[in-house]
Chains A and B, each alone.
Chain A
Amino acid sequence: MQVALFIPCYIDQLYPRVGMATLEILERRGCDVVFPSAQTCCGQPMSNTGCASDAKPLAERFLEIFAPYQYVVCPSGSCVSMVRRHYDEFLEGRPGFEELKGKTFELCEFLVDVLKVDSWNGAYPHKVGLHSSCHGLRELGMGKPSERVGPAFNKPQRLLEMLDQIELVKPQRPDECCGFGGTFAVAEEAVSCMMGGDRLRDHLSAGAEVLTAADMSCLMHLQGLAKRKEMPLQIKHIAEILNESEAKS
């Protein structure tokens, strides 16, 4: 199975270990993984700020770069939701676009839905809080949001639950937004930081030692706050936890 890695720009530059963890997880499952080096950014920052015309050339490049591959996998629900939910406005009707949407996956989704992973050979003896990032949760439907009525499910949580000795803690507000929101984090600094602080405290009082999510952007914001406040909380992308536990065993 051929997989093209889609590594968001900020993960490439600031969190390369998250990209490496993704790569190792997929390779260990026998995927033939490549990283098309012409990729840069999916255009979400521009699109979210209302600057669609600045996002368009990036969407076009994205299609060109990733169209040739069987699957596209990315360790960020938010960037995948950009492709799947927001590229229509730029690429509707272009050859290969419908296929691109259908074959682009967030990492946890890919593991659960495509590779049908149902057990994980690894242990993670820590108390872990899972932050359900909004775009993955609501745009990609990786779990049931707390406002909706229906059977509960959550794909990242399902993966974590496969690890031995892990203890998942339950925050009071299951899927409250962390307050990152892209440029919101800067434009509405006060509200953004209050939201992030509340999120951290909720997980801490539930007993979390490690806080994880399927989106590094939320974690970047939360980590910045936790570090400044010197909170006793490690912050890790879910790919790192999955990879570490498996590599150790």
Chain B
Amino acid sequence: MKAAQHPEEAAKFVANDARAHWHDQALWFVREKRDRMAVSLPEWEELRNTASQIKLHTVSRMADYLEEFERNATKLGAVVHWAKDADEHNQIVLSLLQKIGAKHIVKSKSMLTEECHLNPFLQEHGIEVVDTDLGERIVQLRDEAPSHIVLPAIHIKKEEVSETFHEHLHTEAGNNDPNYLTEAARNHLREKFVAADAGITGVNFAIAETGGLVVCTNEGNADLGVSLPKLHIACLGIEKLVPKAADLSVFLRLLARSATGQPITTYSSHFHGPRPGGELHIILVDNGRSNLMGSSQFRNSLKCIRCGACMNTCPVYRRSGGHSYGTTVPGPIGSILAPSRDSKQHKSLPFACTLCGSCTDVCPVKIDLHHELLEWRGEIRKRGQLPMSKTVPMKLTSWMMQSPWLFRFVGAVGRWFLRHLPRWAIYHGLNPWGKQREMPEAPKQSFRELYQIHESKKASDE
């Protein structure tokens, strides 16, 4: 697969100025809602600290907590499976479904199953998978990937939703009324819920102490999806673990506020074992996570609770759209997670960032996102994946800067050129700075020259 490069994809998104601005505004709106909700809790920064510490502690004792979780979940009657990667995960799901001859599946939003490319895999095996989160269903009908982990269809306008629904659900053409469209989706999904042979959900929090699971949704679709069919498969990335039920009081307050600016998600559904007469299978998925656990540089990224706040605040994400990242999880956290799987393919992502640090300040579990992105840049350089167009100029600049006279000389020559060269020699295709920006005006004298004049004047005044 050709490596996805962020700058080119982003430039395409930015080229449609109206759309890029509309996208930016839509996400900024969510970020502002989040701000209002955060300040309504004076203890916000303490909550962030606590959440961060709980997560760090969990990561440091992951193996113990996973075993504790497995014991307790099994006691409650669930069956726990372990998957080391996406393939194993998909195989387990398939065999569970085949065992009961399931043909129609409803799934509530799960970024993990996206990460494992479960949908196409099941479809290849003749199993219909319907995503039941409204946004997910919209992107699924359009045969697109989600562009955001919490707001999967944030890049799609309501007029476009109307067209999609008209085509697939036979709604009235040109009717853009959100109520009408939501109603249509609801009726369509209801049929799918009733006909489902099994329900798949993601998991927001798994509690080691109790063996219970918590799934947060705003539409209640996770509950519906697992209440009708007998089989519930819960797909769980191992980083979703928390030690105690009491920890939920910290995370549930942080999650929804950070994600959408709600005090709490509309539904926080707790599952403790299978429902009467039903089956609950929990798949614990590693898929590269334990590599991160062993890395002192990037371990922090395992604290992520997938709230999406870093995307909403990221000025680059807002203007380049989620698809420009070419990964399941886009934005700042995605730009850390993706290269840890395949740094060659995703080498442009740690550079798709101004290092402004807004993500670090917004993150409810205090991941130092922009510092990890900087670390990744160094790592990509070390692995020899940085293009020469970056390494060579940096080598040359460093060499020049180690010698003050050379720096003075190059500076003076550069300024002279900047003042005397004709416009065409400065503004051309090889100068990306000058495409939309003027170059700075070059002064005749540098600071060090002015300083010398200043000093000799001072000396003669004395």
Contact yes or no, B378 A50, CB < 8 A: yes
Check: A223 CB closer than 8 A to any chain B CB.
yes
Additional 18 contacts, C-beta under 8 A, given A135-B355, A225-B436: A7-B448, A9-B401, A9-B411, A13-B446, A14-B441, A16-B449, A35-B451, A41-B401, A48-B377, A50-B390, A138-B357, A147-B35, A182-B354, A190-B11, A191-B320, A195-B315, A224-B433, A225-B437
With both beta carbons as reference points, the residue of chain B lying nearest to A65 in the complex is identified as: B404
One of B41-49, B118-126, B259-267, B286-294 at the interface: B41-49
Contact yes or no, A190 B391, CB < 8 A: no
With both beta carbons as reference points, the residue of chain A lying nearest to B382 in the complex is identified as: A50
User: Bound state CA distance, A2 and B374, in angstroms?
Assistant: 34
One of A103-111, A171-179, A238-246 at the interface: A171-179
B398 to chain A: which residues have CB within 8 Å?
43, 46, 51, 54-55, 57-58
Check: B313 CB closer than 8 A to any chain A CB.
yes
With both beta carbons as reference points, the residue of chain A lying nearest to B14 in the complex is identified as: A190
A192 to chain B: which residues have CB within 8 Å?
354
Check: B271 CB closer than 8 A to any chain A CB.
no
Contact yes or no, A54 B394, CB < 8 A: yes
Contact yes or no, A50 B381, CB < 8 A: yes
A186 touches which one: B316, B403, B433 (CB < 8 A)?
B433
Nearest CB of A to B410, in Å? 9
A23 touches which one: B361, B401, B451 (CB < 8 A)?
B451
Check: B196 CB closer than 8 A to any chain A CB.
no
Interface string of B69-87 (1 = CB under 8 A from A): 0000000000000000000
B354 to chain A: which residues have CB within 8 Å?
134, 177, 179-182, 184, 192, 195
With both beta carbons as reference points, the residue of chain A lying nearest to B360 in the complex is identified as: A138
Q: B42, B315, B319, B386: which has the most chain A beta carbons within 10 Å?
A: B315
B380 to chain A: which residues have CB within 8 Å?
50
With both beta carbons as reference points, the residue of chain B lying nearest to A137 in the complex is identified as: B357
Check: A170 CB closer than 8 A to any chain B CB.
no
Contact yes or no, B352 A188, CB < 8 A: yes
Residues of A within 8 A of B (CB): 7, 9, 11-17, 19-20, 23, 35, 37-41, 43, 45-52, 54-55, 57-58, 61, 134-135, 138-139, 145-150, 173, 175-177, 179-196, 198, 220-221, 223-225, 227-228
User: Bound state CA distance, A247 and B432, in angstroms?
Assistant: 39
Number of residues in B with C-beta < 8 Å to the partner? 77
Nearest CB of B to A89, in Å? 9
Q: A55, A57, A177, A190: which has the most chain B beta carbons within 10 Å?
A: A190
Secondary structure type dominating chain B contacts:
helix
Check: B149 CB closer than 8 A to any chain A CB.
no
With both beta carbons as reference points, the residue of chain B lying nearest to A149 in the complex is identified as: B44
User: Bound state CA distance, A181 and B307, in angstroms?
Assistant: 25
Contact yes or no, A16 B313, CB < 8 A: no
Given A11-B447, A35-B451, A57-B398, residue A51 in contact with residue B391 (CB < 8 A): yes
A186 to chain B: which residues have CB within 8 Å?
432-433
A185 to chain B: which residues have CB within 8 Å?
433
Nearest CB of A to B32, in Å? 9
Contact yes or no, B407 A40, CB < 8 A: yes
Check: B10 CB closer than 8 A to any chain A CB.
yes
Check: B90 CB closer than 8 A to any chain A CB.
no
Nearest CB of B to A38, in Å? 5
Given A149-B42, A149-B45, residue A14 in contact with residue B361 (CB < 8 A): no
A224 touches which one: B352, B438, B448 (CB < 8 A)?
B438
With both beta carbons as reference points, the residue of chain B lying nearest to A46 in the complex is identified as: B394
A191 to chain B: which residues have CB within 8 Å?
7, 10-11, 14, 316, 319-320, 352
B351 touches which one: A19, A47, A177, A187 (CB < 8 A)?
A187
User: Bound state CA distance, A198 and B23, in angstroms?
Assistant: 13
A-B contact pairs, 20 of them (CB 8 A): A7-B448, A14-B443, A15-B443, A16-B449, A20-B454, A35-B451, A49-B381, A50-B390, A54-B397, A138-B358, A149-B39, A184-B351, A184-B353, A187-B7, A189-B433, A191-B352, A195-B315, A225-B436, A227-B437, A227-B438
User: Bound state CA distance, A41 and B42, in angstroms?
Assistant: 42
Secondary structure type dominating chain A contacts:
helix
Contact yes or no, B432 A138, CB < 8 A: no
Contact yes or no, B447 A7, CB < 8 A: yes
Nearest CB of A to B321, in Å? 10
- Which A-B residue pairs are the 8 nearest by beta carbons? A181-B354, A224-B437, A50-B377, A177-B356, A54-B398, A50-B381, A19-B447, A190-B11
Contact yes or no, B381 A37, CB < 8 A: no
B275 to chain A: which residues have CB within 8 Å?
none
User: Bound state CA distance, A227 and B441, in angstroms?
Assistant: 11
User: Bound state CA distance, A17 and B353, in angstroms?
Assistant: 30
Nearest CB of B to A76, in Å? 12
A198 to chain B: which residues have CB within 8 Å?
21, 24
Contact yes or no, B402 A61, CB < 8 A: yes
Q: Which of chain B's residues 183-239 have a Cβ closer than 8 Å to chain A?
A: none
Check: B445 CB closer than 8 A to any chain A CB.
yes
Contact yes or no, B432 A12, CB < 8 A: no
B404 touches which one: A13, A38, A57, A138 (CB < 8 A)?
A38
B21 to chain A: which residues have CB within 8 Å?
198
Nearest CB of A to B314, in Å? 9
Contact yes or no, A40 B440, CB < 8 A: no
Interface string of B348-385 (1 = CB under 8 A from A): 00111111111011100000000000101111110000
With both beta carbons as reference points, the residue of chain A lying nearest to B403 in the complex is identified as: A40
A196 to chain B: which residues have CB within 8 Å?
437
Interface string of B421-443 (1 = CB under 8 A from A): 00000000000110111111111
A45 touches which one: B378, B397, B442, B447 (CB < 8 A)?
B397
Given A9-B401, A190-B14, A191-B320, residue A148 in contact with residue B446 (CB < 8 A): no
B436 to chain A: which residues have CB within 8 Å?
189, 193, 225, 228
Contact yes or no, A190 B10, CB < 8 A: yes
Contact yes or no, B402 A58, CB < 8 A: yes
B333 to chain A: which residues have CB within 8 Å?
none
Interface string of B305-326 (1 = CB under 8 A from A): 0000000010110011000000
B402 to chain A: which residues have CB within 8 Å?
40, 57-58, 61
